[in-house]
């Protein structure tokens, strides 16, 4: 077997199951999970009707590039949403089976392990960034997202020497788990940095359509390119999905768009990978990308939940005001996110995810391994290369992730139980 498999860390939900093992929650309380970011709102019905109407197309092999009608629908949606002057559906768009599969596959195709192969990722992060990097023979560079930087990475802390070793920079905006949004000016700054040091920017924007202020949709990487007059989107790719936008996580439908010189070899890789989207799913996806009414209704439902949960939890928990996504990222009283999670489950039958499970102590060599230190058990200080070695803390520690994915009533019920637990525990 590939020895790099041994480098993979346990997935957060594996660790959560171990943490909760042996705990017996109150049987009279129904379990309310706030753990997995799987939308529970009703899937877009018209897309399902289209899927049914094209079920006989399961008898046909699909092409890796997808049908022209799907690429065209995607390009039209992206042009409208991100105010693009143009997006070539033939060369700058590639349908994929959801962002998770595409992100993993892209790293395998893009990383050149014959030279320094760092992949910069926000910390805490969506675990696929790390796993894809390790299995491609690369080295993750964890960029801490802390309150003092608005829960976005401090890119200025990375030295030019380290940037020269970075081949891919992953962005996640709106962020998982923090909900932070990357401003357009920051996108533009990073594009200039990618030009200077010759790396690819891969922007995971799967939460882009879940935002609280209807008048302020989150900007995107390609939007920043367009504002700079970079209509070739050089060195830039975005990843989008119907999972959150249209409540269709099981459809496994998304797209990659941007630099044609990156799309072409990635499509060649995928041809051998054998991961073309089936035709009925493509037709259903066209229906979803062409409709905005259901997406606006979806946002309204999340706004109602955020308002209800904020009113319940704000008196007892500190958390950043959410801008987008469907997560809350509160600090827990006492600072021990694992103990809080386990005790909450035992007392109230509510499951949450410890924030430390989504982050790494970004010390020493940039891979989350402890620094050598000074020989007396103290961690080494930063080495001037952009590696976070000051205190070795995990930026997710002391927080929990709450996924507000269920309908309003059970979500508010869960928030009420959390508040009751905190007030009794105080």
* Contacts of residue 395, Cβ cutoff 8 Å, sequence gap at least 6: 123, 124, 144, 145, 146, 359, 362
Q: How far is CA 177 from CA 125, 203, 311, in A?
A: 7, 15, 20
Half-sphere exposure of 249 (CA within 13 A, CB side): 11
| Domain assignment present for 146 | yes
Q: What is the mean pLDDT of residues 95-108?
A: 97
Residue 391 pLDDT: 62
- Residue 87 and residue 201 in one domain: yes
Peptide bond into 184 cis (omega under 30): no
- Residue 211 and residue 345 in one domain: no
- Percent above pLDDT 70 for the chain: 93
- Residue 146 and residue 37 in one domain: no
Q: How confident is the model at residue 126 (pLDDT cuts 50, 70, 90)?
A: very high
pLDDT tens per residue across span 253-276: 999 999 999 999 999 999 999 899
pLDDT tens per residue across span 26-63: 999 999 999 999 999 999 999 999 999 999 999 999 99
**What are 407's two structure tokens?**
């309908």
Give how many domains the chain has, as a whole number. 2
- Residue 361 and residue 396 in one domain: yes
- Percent above pLDDT 90 for the chain: 91
Residue-averaged pLDDT of the chain = 93
pLDDT tens per residue across span 323-366: 999 999 999 999 999 999 999 999 999 999 999 999 999 654 44
Nearest alpha carbon to residue 329 among 417, 418, 403: 403
Determine the structural domain holding residue 153 and report its residue range: 59-291
- Residue 162 and residue 174 in one domain: yes
Q: How confident is the model at residue 160 (pLDDT cuts 50, 70, 90)?
A: very high
| Domain assignment present for 48 | no
Q: What is the mean pLDDT of residues 5-15?
A: 94
Measured CA angle at 240 (ends 237, 242), to 5 deg: 165
Q: How confident is the model at residue 10 (pLDDT cuts 50, 70, 90)?
A: very high
- Residue 9 and residue 95 in one domain: no
DSSP state, 324? B
Measured CA angle at 71 (ends 67, 74), to 5 deg: 140
CB 328 within 8 A of CB 321: no
- Residue 244 and residue 189 in one domain: yes
Residue 383 pLDDT: 34
- Please identify, among 270, 291, 312, the residue that sits at the C-terminal boundary of a domain: 291
Q: What is the mean pLDDT of residues 71-97?
A: 97
| Domain assignment present for 51 | no
- Residue 132 and residue 33 in one domain: no
* pTM (whole model) above 0.85: yes
Query: What is the b/e burial string over 238-275, where b = at least 16 CB atoms within 10 angstroms of the residue's CB?
Result: bbbbbbbbbbbbebbbbbbbbbeebbeebbebbeeeeb
CB 387 within 8 A of CB 116: no
Q: Is the pLDDT of residue 384 over 70?
A: no
Residue 46 pLDDT: 98
- Please identify, among 264, 291, 318, the residue that sits at the C-terminal boundary of a domain: 291
Residue 321 pLDDT: 87
| Domain assignment present for 52 | no
Q: What is the mean pLDDT of residues 77-92?
A: 97
| Domain assignment present for 141 | yes
- Residue 321 and residue 271 in one domain: no
- Residue 214 and residue 362 in one domain: no
DSSP element (H, E) containing 105: helix 98-110
- Please identify, among 291, 321, 347, the residue that sits at the C-terminal boundary of a domain: 291
Q: Is the pLDDT of residue 373 over 70?
A: no
- Residue 221 and residue 75 in one domain: yes
Q: What is the mean pLDDT of residues 237-244?
A: 98
DSSP strand pairing (139-144 vs 166-172): unpaired
For residue 253, what is the domain's CATH number? 3.40.640.10
């Amino acid at each position: 077997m590939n020895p790099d498999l041994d480098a993979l860390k346990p997935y957060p939900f594996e660790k959560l199951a171990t943490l909760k093992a042996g705990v017996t929650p109150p049987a009279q309380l129904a379990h309310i999970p706030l753990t997995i970011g799987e939308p529970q709102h009703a899937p877009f019905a018209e897309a399902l009707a289209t899927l049914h109407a094209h079920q006989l197309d399961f008898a046909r092999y699909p092409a890796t590039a997808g049908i022209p009608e799907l690429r065209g629908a995607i390009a039209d949606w992206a042009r409208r949403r991100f105010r693009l002057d143009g997006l070539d559906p033939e060369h700058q768009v590639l349908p994929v089976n959801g962002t998770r599969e595409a992100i993993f596959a892209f790293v395998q195709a893009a990383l050149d392990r014959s030279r320094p192969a760092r992949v910069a990722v926000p910390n805490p992060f969506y675990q696929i960034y790390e796993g894809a990097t390790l299995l491609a023979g690369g080295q993750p560079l964890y960029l801490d997202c802390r309150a003092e930087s608005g829960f976005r990475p401090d890119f200025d802390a990375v030295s030019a020497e380290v940037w020269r070793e970075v081949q891919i920079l992953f962005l996640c905006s709106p962020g998982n788990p923090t909900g932070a949004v990357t401003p357009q000016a920051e996108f533009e700054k990073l594009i200039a940095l990618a030009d200077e040091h010759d790396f690819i920017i891969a922007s995971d924007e799967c939460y882009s359509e879940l935002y609280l202020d209807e008048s302020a949709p989150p900007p995107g990487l390609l939007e920043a390119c367009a504002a700079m007059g970079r209509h070739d989107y050089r060195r830039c790719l975005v990843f989008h999905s119907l999972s959150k936008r249209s409540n269709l996580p099981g459809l496994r439908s998304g797209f990659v768009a941007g630099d044609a010189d990156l799309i072409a070899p990635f499509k060649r890789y995928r041809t051998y990978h054998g991961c073309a989207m089936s035709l009925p799913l493509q037709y259903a996806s066209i229906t979803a990308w062409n409709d905005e009414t259901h997406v606006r209704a979806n946002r309204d439902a999340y706004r109602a939940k955020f308002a209800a949960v904020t009113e319940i939890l704000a008196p007892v928990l500190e958390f950043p005001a959410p801008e987008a996504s469907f997560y809350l990222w509160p600090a827990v009283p006492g600072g021990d996110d694992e103990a809080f999670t386990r005790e909450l489950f035992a007392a109230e039958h509510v499951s949450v995810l410890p924030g430390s499970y989504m982050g790494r102590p970004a010390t020493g060599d940039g891979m989350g391994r402890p620094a050598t230190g000074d020989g007396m058990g103290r961690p080494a200080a930063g080495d001037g290369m952009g590696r976070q070695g000051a205190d070795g803390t995990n930026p997710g520690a002391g927080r929990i992730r709450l996924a507000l994915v269920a309908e309003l009533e059970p979500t508010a019920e869960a928030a009420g139980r959390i508040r009751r637990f905190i007030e009794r525990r105080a």
